[in-house]
C-alpha cells in the first residue's frame, strides 16, 4: 500500500466514531476467522438446523397453487410467458442478458468470476482482499455480480413450471452445483458484497418454492439449500453495510435476513435473523424515505429499487402473520404515489443513477418497467390511479398476490389521475402537468443526494419533459460505475443534463465513482400553482466556488395548455464560458432551424432558444450520447446555446405547440424598448392565435413597453379578436399600464390572474388587500382588442 493510501486510511480511522470502529473491527475479525475455518477444512455446519417442532412458514404462494398461477400467467400475459421461455432457452446455452448487455456468451462452462464484457477475471482469493471497485483487478464487478445474483435460475424454474420441459430444471441444478463448487465460502468476489449475497439468497428462495413438490426437485436438495442459506445469512449478519453503504445495501441485506429467518425456521439462528432483518426494514423505511415519499438517494431508479424491497418484505410479513404498522403502510403508499406521479405523463422522469438491477426480475430493468410496482399497489391500496398509470397487470403481481390479486386488480376501476402541478417539497421535485396535452415537466431543485451523494448527479435545476407517453427532454442515464473515469463523470456531470454550465465545469466536483465534493446548495425561491399558470424560480451556488463566483438562477413559467418558458440567468462578474444544454430524446428529430421539434403527429412542439449578453452567443445541434440502461449507450441530439461572455448572461428557451412548417410557426423575440434594462427583461412570443408578452423583474420598479411595475413576473396575452385575454402578475405591489394604475397593494402580493373571454372578466387574487381598478382592466383589454367595435366594453 502506498504512503498516500496509508495516510487516507489513517484519516478514515480518526474520523470514525467509537461504535463504527468497534463494528468494523468485529467484521474484520469474523472475516479472518471464517478464512481460518475454510483453510483448516472446518465445516460451517454450525449454522445448521435446530431440533424440535418449528412453525410452518408461508411464501407468497403455496406449493399447490403454482399450477394455477402458471395458468393465470398464460391467460393474462401470453406474450411475457413466450418471452420468458425464449430467455430461458438462451440461459440453457449460457447466453445471458445482464443489465443493459444482451446475449453475453459464457461458453460451455460458466466462469462465475468473469466480467465477460471487459474480459477481466476477478482473482480467487479471500473476498475481503479483493478490490472490487478496481477496474484493473476485476473489471466491472456489477456485471459479474449480476450473473451471480442467480435471478436467471428463477427464470429457469418458472420456465420449467410453465412449459413442463425437464431441460430447464436440469440446467438449473447443474448450474447450482457448479456454482457451489467454484465459490466456496469465503473465497472470491461473489462474497465481497453482502448485498450481492442477499440478492442471491432471495433467488434461491424463489427457486425452492417454485419447484418444491415437483419431480424436478432432487432428493435431499432442501438440506443443501438450508446449508447454503445458513452460510449466506451468517455472512450477511456479520457484514451488514451499517457504515459502508447504509442505503439500499443495508436495506437489501435486512430483507434477505428477514426472508431466510422467516422461511427457514429450522436454522438455529433463524429467529434472530428474522427479527434483525425486520428491525432493519422498519428502521430504514423511516430513515431512507423522505416525508414526501421519495427515496433519499435522489435517484428515480433507486427509489423503485427500495420500493421493491419494502413491498416484498411487507407482503411476506402479512403472509406469516407478522404485524405491519400503519406508518409502514403509509410509507409504501407514498412511495407508490411518487412513481404514479412521475410516470403519469410518460416514461418515469429519471434523475440520478440507473443501477440496472431489480429485486423481482433483473431483466425488467428498463425505464418502462419502473411502473411495475403500481399494479401490486393498486390491489393493496385499492387505488384506481395506480392501475391507470400501470396500464395493466404484471407478472410480479400474479406471483405476489395470486388469483385473488388478479380478481381484485380487474375489479378496481382504472381512474385517470388528476393532472395537477405539485411539489415534492422534501425532495425538491417540482412537477408541472398539462392535462390537455398529457405533458409533464419535472424540475430537480432538491439536494444532490444524501451524504456524499454517491448516486446523485450534478443536475441542480435540470428538467425532464414528457408528452403523450413519450420522452421529449431526457436525463442521460448512467452507463457504468467503473471503467474509464471520464465515462462515469461524463454521464453524471452537469453538461449531460438539461441545465446551465459555467466554464465547462460540473456543479460539484467528483470524488471517486460514488462521491462528490462541494455539493451545491439549491434554493427554491418561488413556487406558484395558479389557475392558468405555474411559476418556479430557484437558484444554486455550485459555481460560487470559482475565483469569480457565479450563481445560476432558473425560472420556469408554464402557461397551461400553451407553452413552457425557461429563463436562465448566470449572475456574477467577469468573463466566463456559459452554456445551456437541451438533451432530446432519440425519438425526436430536429429541423434545419431550432424550431419545429417533433417526434410524431401526437407530440409536436416548437423549440426556441435565445441568449442575451455582452457577447454574441450561438446555438448549435450536437450529437452526444445517452444511456437507456446500465451498460448501454446510444446517440442523441443536444441543442447547445452558449459561448464566452461578460456576466450577467441570460438565456430564454420556449417550448410551445408546433404549428406546422417553420414559416407558419411562432416567433420569439426580445422586447428592445427597455427603459430599466438592469431591472427588467422582456420577451414577446407571437403566434397566429395570440401575442404573449412576458416581463421578468429583478426586485425593483421597472418600466417597459407601456408597463410600469415592480412585479417579479408580468405576463400579458392579447388575442387578435379580443377573446381569451390574460394578465398574470406575481410578487408585486403595483401594476400600471399607459400611466393608469391597474392594481396595487400596501404589501407584496404573491399572485393575481385576470382573464377575459367572451366579454366576461374573472379575477383570481387570494390576497384580499389588493385594490383592482376594473375600469382600467376594461380599458386594458379593450384597448388591445382588434375588432369592429373597439369602444365596446365587456362586463365584469
Q: What is the pLDDT of residues 200-254, one digit of tens each?
A: 999 999 999 999 999 999 999 999 999 999 999 999 999 999 988 889 999 999 9
pTM above 0.75, yes or no: yes
pLDDT of residue 175: 98
| pLDDT greater at residue 63 or residue 604 | 63
- Residue 795 predicted with pLDDT over 70: no
Name the least confident of 23-32, 398-407, 676-685.
Answer: 676-685
pLDDT of residue 420: 85
pLDDT of residue 786: 30
Name the least confident of 134-138, 170-174, 493-497, 663-667.
Answer: 663-667
Band (pLDDT 50/70/90 cuts) for residue 50 is: low
Distances (CA, A) of 549 to 544, 554, 570, 613, 698: 4, 17, 10, 17, 19
pLDDT of residue 11: 61
Considering only the C-alpha atoms of the chain, give the largest distance between any 2 of them, rounded to a whole number of Å.
102
- Residue 714 predicted with pLDDT over 90: yes
Q: What dihedral angle (degrees, nearest 10) is formed by the CA atoms of 781, 528, 462, 599? A: -50
Helix (H, G, I), strand (E, B) or coil at 155: helix
Region 597-605: mean pLDDT is 50
Of residues 457, 443, 567, the one with CA closest to residue 506: 457
Of residues 310, 374, 303, the one with CA closest to residue 336: 374
Region 24-45: mean pLDDT is 87
Residue-wise pLDDT for 96-147, tens only, equals 999 999 999 999 999 999 999 999 999 999 999 999 999 999 999 999 999 9
Cα 326 to Cα 147: distance, rounded to the nearest angstrom: 37
Instruction: Evaluate the omega torsion of the peptide bond into residue 89 and state whether it is cis, within 30 degrees of 0.
Output: no
Residue-wise pLDDT for 277-306, tens only, equals 999 999 999 999 999 999 999 999 999 999
Give the angle subtended at the CA of 667 by the CAs of 666 and 671, to the nearest 5°.
145
451, 460 in Cβ contact below 8 A?
no
In our burial notation (b when 16+ CB lie closer than 10 A, e otherwise), range 131-162 reads ebeebeebbbbbbbbbbbbbbbbbbbbbbbbb
**CB neighbour class for 426 (10 Å; exposed up to 12, middle 13-18, buried from 19):** middle
pLDDT of residue 215: 92
Cα 741 to Cα 708: distance, rounded to the nearest angstrom: 9
Write a three-state SS string for 704-769: ECCEEECCCEEEEEECCCCCCEEEEEEEEEEEEECCEEEEEEEEEEEEEEEEEECCEEEEECCCCC
332, 314 in Cβ contact below 8 A?
yes
Of residues 750, 796, 751, the one with CA closest to residue 776: 796
Band (pLDDT 50/70/90 cuts) for residue 698 is: confident
Cα 168 to Cα 159: distance, rounded to the nearest angstrom: 7
Instruction: Evaluate the omega torsion of the peptide bond into residue 540 and state whether it is cis, within 30 degrees of 0.
Output: no
In our burial notation (b when 16+ CB lie closer than 10 A, e otherwise), range 304-316 reads bbbbbbbbbbbbb
pLDDT of residue 599: 44
Region 464-479: mean pLDDT is 88
Amino acid at each position: 500500500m502506498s504512503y498516500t493510501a496509508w495516510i487516507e486510511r489513517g484519516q478514515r480511522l480518526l474520523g470514525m466514531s467509537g461504535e463504527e470502529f468497534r463494528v468494523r473491527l468485529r467484521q474484520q475479525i469474523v472475516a479472518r476467522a471464517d478464512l481460518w475455518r475454510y483453510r483448516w477444512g472446518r465445516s460451517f455446519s454450525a449454522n445448521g438446523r435446530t431440533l424440535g417442532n418449528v412453525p410452518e412458514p408461508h411464501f407468497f404462494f403455496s406449493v399447490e397453487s403454482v399450477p394455477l398461477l402458471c395458468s393465470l400467467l398464460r391467460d393474462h400475459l401470453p406474450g411475457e410467458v413466450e418471452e420468458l421461455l425464449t430467455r430461458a432457452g438462451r440461459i440453457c446455452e449460457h447466453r445471458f442478458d445482464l443489465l443493459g448487455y444482451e446475449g453475453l456468451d459464457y461458453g460451455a462452462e460458466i466462469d462465475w468470476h468473469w466480467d465477460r464484457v471487459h474480459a477481466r477475471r476477478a482473482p480467487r482469493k479471500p473476498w475481503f482482499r479483493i478490490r472490487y471497485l478496481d477496474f484493473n483487478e476485476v473489471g466491472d464487478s456489477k456485471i459479474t455480480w449480476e450473473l451471480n445474483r442467480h435471478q436467471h435460475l428463477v427464470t429457469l424454474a418458472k420456465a420449467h413450471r410453465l412449459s413442463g420441459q425437464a431441460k430447464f430444471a436440469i440446467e438449473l441444478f447443474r448450474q447450482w452445483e457448479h456454482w457451489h463448487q467454484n465459490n466456496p465460502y469465503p473465497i472470491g468476489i461473489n462474497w465481497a458484497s453482502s448485498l450481492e449475497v442477499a440478492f442471491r439468497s432471495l433467488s434461491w428462495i424463489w427457486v425452492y418454492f417454485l419447484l418444491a413438490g415437483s419431480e424436478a426437485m432432487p432428493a435431499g436438495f432442501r438440506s443443501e439449500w438450508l446449508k447454503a442459506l445458513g452460510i449466506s445469512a451468517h455472512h450477511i449478519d456479520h457484514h451488514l453495510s451499517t457504515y459502508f453503504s447504509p442505503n439500499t445495501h443495508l436495506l437489501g441485506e435486512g430483507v434477505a435476513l428477514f426472508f431466510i429467518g422467516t422461511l427457514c425456521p429450522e436454522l438455529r439462528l433463524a429467529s434472530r435473523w428474522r427479527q434483525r432483518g425486520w428491525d432493519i426494514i422498519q428502521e430504514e423505511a423511516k430513515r431512507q424515505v423522505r416525508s414526501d415519499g421519495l427515496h433519499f438517494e435522489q435517484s428515480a431508479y433507486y427509489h423503485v429499487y427500495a420500493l421493491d424491497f419494502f413491498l416484498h418484505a411487507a407482503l411476506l410479513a402479512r403472509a406469516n402473520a407478522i404485524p405491519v404498522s400503519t406508518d409502514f403502510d403509509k410509507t409504501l403508499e407514498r412511495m407508490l404515489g411518487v412513481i404514479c406521479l412521475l410516470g403519469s405523463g410518460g416514461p418515469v422522469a429519471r434523475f440520478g443513477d440507473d443501477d440496472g438491477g431489480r429485486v423481482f426480475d433483473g431483466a425488467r430493468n428498463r425505464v418502462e418497467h419502473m411502473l411495475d410496482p403500481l399494479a401490486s399497489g393498486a390491489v393493496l391500496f385499492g387505488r384506481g390511479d395506480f392501475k391507470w398509470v400501470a396500464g395493466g397487470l404484471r407478472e410480479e403481481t400474479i406471483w405476489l398476490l395470486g388469483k385473488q390479486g388478479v380478481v381484485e386488480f380487474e375489479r378496481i376501476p382504472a381512474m385517470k389521475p388528476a393532472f395537477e402541478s405539485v411539489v415534492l417539497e422534501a425532495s425538491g421535485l417540482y412537477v408541472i402537468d398539462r392535462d390537455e396535452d398529457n405533458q409533464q415537466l419535472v424540475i430537480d431543485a432538491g439536494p444532490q443526494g444524501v451524504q456524499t451523494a454517491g448516486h446523485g448527479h450534478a443536475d441542480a435545476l435540470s428538467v425532464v419533459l414528457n408528452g403523450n407517453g413519450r420522452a421529449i427532454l431526457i436525463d442521460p442515464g448512467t452507463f457504468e460505475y467503473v471503467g474509464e473515469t471520464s465515462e462515469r463523470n461524463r454521464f453524471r456531470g452537469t453538461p449531460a443534463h438539461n441545465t446551465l454550465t459555467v466554464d465547462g465545469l460540473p456543479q460539484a466536483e467528483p470524488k471517486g465513482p460514488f462521491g462528490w465534493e462541494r455539493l451545491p446548495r439549491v434554493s427554491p425561491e418561488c413556487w406558484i400553482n395558479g389557475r392558468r399558470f405555474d411559476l418556479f424560480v430557484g437558484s444554486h451556488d455550485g459555481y460560487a466556488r470559482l475565483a469569480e463566483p457565479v450563481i445560476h438562477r432558473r425560472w420556469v413559467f408554464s402557461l397551461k395548455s400553451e407553452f413552457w418558458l425557461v429563463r436562465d440567468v448566470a449572475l456574477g462578474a467577469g468573463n466566463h464560458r456559459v452554456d445551456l444544454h437541451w438533451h432530446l430524446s432519440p425519438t425526436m428529430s430536429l429541423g434545419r432551424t431550432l424550431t419545429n421539434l417533433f417526434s410524431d403527429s401526437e407530440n409536436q412542439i416548437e423549440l426556441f432558444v435565445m441568449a442575451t449578453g455582452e457577447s454574441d452567443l450561438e446555438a448549435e445541434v450536437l450529437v452526444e450520447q445517452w444511456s437507456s440502461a446500465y451498460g448501454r449507450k446510444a446517440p442523441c441530439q443536444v441543442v447547445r446555446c452558449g459561448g464566452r461572455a461578460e456576466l450577467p448572461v441570460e438565456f430564454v428557451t420556449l417550448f410551445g405547440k408546433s404549428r406546422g412548417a417553420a414559416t407558419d410557426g411562432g416567433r420569439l423575440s426580445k422586447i428592445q424598448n427597455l427603459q430599466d434594462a438592469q431591472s427588467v427583461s422582456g420577451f414577446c412570443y407571437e403566434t397566429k392565435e395570440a401575442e404573449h408578452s412576458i416581463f421578468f423583474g429583478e426586485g425593483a420598479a421597472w418600466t417597459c413597453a407601456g408597463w410600469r411595475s415592480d412585479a417579479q413576473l408580468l405576463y400579458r396575452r392579447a388575442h387578435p379578436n379580443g377573446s381569451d385575454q390574460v394578465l398574470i402578475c406575481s410578487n408585486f405591489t403595483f401594476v400600471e399600464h399607459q400611466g393608469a394604475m391597474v392594481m396595487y397593494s400596501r404589501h407584496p402580493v404573491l399572485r393575481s390572474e385576470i382573464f377575459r373571454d367572451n366579454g366576461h372578466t374573472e379575477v383570481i387574487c387570494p390576497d384580499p388587500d389588493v385594490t383592482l381598478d376594473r375600469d382600467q382592466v376594461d380599458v386594458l383589454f379593450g384597448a388591445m382588442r382588434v375588432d369592429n367595435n373597439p369602444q365596446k366594453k365587456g362586463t365584469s
